[in-house]
Every structure is written in structure tokens, then in C-alpha cells.
Amino acid sequence: MELRLRAPLDMHLHLRDGEMLRSVAPLSARDFAGGLIMPNLVPPVTTGEMVREYRASIEEAIGEEKFRPYMTLFFQEEYSYDFLKEVREEILAIKLYPAGITTNSEGGIADLSVERLAPVLEAMSALGIPLSVHGETDGFVMDREAQFIPIYEKLALRFPDLTIIMEHITTKEAVEALFRHENLYATITLHHLSITLDDLAGGLLRPHLFCKPIAKRPEDRTALRKMAFLGHEKVMFGSDSAPHPREKKEASHCAAGVFTAPVALPALAQLFEGAGVLENLQKFVSDNARRIYGITPPDKEVLLVKEKWRVPESYGGVVPMFAGEELEWRVESAL
Ligand code: DOR
Ligand code: ZN
């Protein structure tokens, strides 16, 4: 059995920089036609020059592969209309991080009141730049996403022409919010479709499944699966593949992030096939993102075959999801 995917896209991807970038970028570039590249480097990507430099280093790391890095800026209150107009052509979205909420987000936004954000959001709305959001408060860890939903709703109402992406949603409350506002969309990760908190912490602790937002309850996963399996037009695939060196994961104060880039398409095919909806995977991994973001990725057809393979224990010192386990689908080629 085989499956052909046209221009699969990963609309939430951490590629890092330096040696880590050179090691992980080829894995995404092999399987995907493009990805939305997160800006939480140290220091974060906040200027046109930084965007151009980062894009150039990504392109160098991926070599000849057909893969378009869709760049983002790290949201800053100081961005002016003129600055955003100038940088418009270089980026696809601006990513907003609440200050200190996740990896390398210390320079994020401390005061999320609509009034404080309004000048930048007005400019983005006028220029047609989508807003991508890490939507968590600093409340109790299981409630952080649900507590953030009123903020999403205020933004959606106040800026009806602004496309707002609720990144890596994990709860049924987030799914419900999507239906209340025309301009809200969401990415869903492979890991949140696959696991619940039980897989992470219900038995022996599995640090490689620890991420932000943390995996939630079975009923939350069911709500996410329902949307993804329908290929619902409000949702698209964003892996949030977030590589950290093994020693940062297998540690006291384990870093947050699940590294899924090299297993994403095979594992998604397995999930969708298991649910009897393989034909909807194309929408989830490409068509919806094209429409939501209005992009035309490079022509690339990725061929998956139903053939077992064993996921490596590590890729250059980073442990992937499903390490050492067998997956049923394999990426055969990309043209
Ligand atoms: O688990 C996560 N890891 N969540 C994030 O929001 C950031 C990411 C990272 O950059 O490591
Ligand atoms: Zn992320």
C-alpha cells in the first residue's frame, strides 16, 4: 500500500541554530515541502536582518532539498507599522510568546492586555500578517491553555480581519473556541494526537514526551483527533518538533519539547489509517495550511509506503518520539 502526499507542510517547527540546525533541518526538508519556522532562538529573531540571516543558515543546512522555510518574527510591542511594512515580504507570521512561558520566551510579552497589544495588532491586521500565539497563562499547568482562551477571544473580536493561529492546541476548550470566531485557526501536533498525560507521567516518567503545553486528558485528545481526522478546515498540522540534546531531556529540570520531525509523516499516516481516514491526511498536512496562510509551497510529492521500520534511538544526540519502536509507514521518496 502507498500514500502520496502533495507538498506536506509543518506549520510549527523549531529548527534552532548552529550545529543543532545543521543536524535537524535536513530531516524536515526531506519529508516536507515547507514549514513555519519558530523564532525563539537566543537572542530571539526580532529584526529584518536576523530573519534574512536565519533564513540563509536554514537554506545552507538543507542544501538541495525542496523545502521552503516560512519565517517568523518574535512579537515585540515596539514594532512600528513602517517596520512591519518593510519586513512584510520576509515573513509569513509573527509569533507571540507570553514572557517566560516556555523555552527561550523570556523576551516575550508580560502584559497581554488588548490595549497594550493593539498598535502592533492593528498594523499586522492592516498589512495582512497572521498572528501565531503560544496561548498559555502562568496558572496551574493543566489549566493554562483553557485560561488563555478569553484572551484569544478578545483578540479575535477586536481584530476581525487578523488571522489568529492558536498554536499546538491541547484541549477540548480550544477546539470549541475555534467555532466561535471566523478568524481563529489552530495547529495540532503529532504528540498531542498520540498521547495523554498518562503516557508522560502515569507510569515511569518519560521526559522525551514532556512539552509545553503539557499533554492533557483522554477527552481532550479525542476532541483534537476528531478535528484532525476530519481534515477540518480550521486545523492544520504543526509538529512543534522541538529538539533538545539528550542530556537536557534526561535531566533534573528536563527541557520541554518533543522531537518528532523525522517520524511525523509515518506516524500521522499510521494514526489516520487506524481511524479509517487516510484520505483526509492531505487536508491536514497541506491543503488547510495553504488556504489559511494563502501560500503556494514548492511542488513536491512525498511517497509513503506501508512498510515497517524501526525508529533510530537518536538523531545526532537528539532522541525522537517513538525511539526504538516500529512504525508501519515509511517515507520512500520525495520528488
Ligand atoms: O515544548 C515546547 N518546546 N514548547 C514550546 O512552546 C517551545 C518548545 C521549544 O522551543 O523547545
Ligand atoms: Zn513551539
What are the residue ranges spanned by the domains of the chain?
8-296
Q: Which of 161, 199, 240, 299 is catalytic?
A: 240
C-alpha cell at 19: 550545529
* Torsion, CA 210, CA 326, CA 320, CA 233, rounded to 10: -70
Q: Which residues line ligand 1 (CB under 6 A)?
A: 14, 40, 102-103, 134, 211-212, 240, 242, 256-257
C-alpha cell at 193: 494526537
Per residue of the chain (335 residues), what is the pLDDT tens digit? 999 999 999 999 999 999 999 999 999 999 999 999 999 999 999 999 999 999 999 999 999 999 999 999 999 999 999 999 999 999 999 999 999 998 899 999 999 999 999 999 999 999 999 999 999 999 999 999 999 999 999 999 999 999 999 999 999 999 999 999 999 999 999 999 999 999 999 999 999 999 999 999 999 999 999 999 999 999 999 999 999 999 999 999 999 999 999 999 999 999 999 999 999 999 999 999 999 999 999 999 999 999 999 999 999 999 999 999 999 999 998 88
CATH class of 8-296: alpha beta
Q: Can you list the alpha helix ranges (DSSP code H) found in the chain?
A: 18-31, 48-62, 81-87, 114-127, 144-158, 172-178, 190-194, 197-201, 218-230, 246-249, 264-274, 281-282, 288-293
Ligand 2 mean position, distance from CA 119 (Å):
25
**In the prediction, which pLDDT does 141 show?**
98
Ligand 2 mean position, distance from CA 306 (Å):
29
Decide if 111 is catalytic.
no
CA neighbor of 37 nearest in space, from 8, 18, 9, 5: 9
Q: Cell 491536514: give the residue.
A: 284
Q: Are 163 and 191 in contact (CB under 8 A)?
A: no
Ligand nearest to the Cα of 37, by number = 2
* Residue from 14, 74, 190, 321 to probe ligand 1 pocket by mutation (most atoms less than 8 Å from CB): 14
Q: How many CB atoms lie within 10 A of CB 308?
A: 10
Which residue has a Cα nearest atom 4 of ligand 1? 212
Query: Cα(30)–Cα(89) distance, rounded to whole angstroms?
Result: 25
**In the prediction, which pLDDT does 103 show?**
87
Ligand 2 mean position, distance from CA 209 (Å):
14
**In the prediction, which pLDDT does 14 show?**
98
**In the prediction, which pLDDT does 334 show?**
87
**In the prediction, which pLDDT does 65 show?**
95
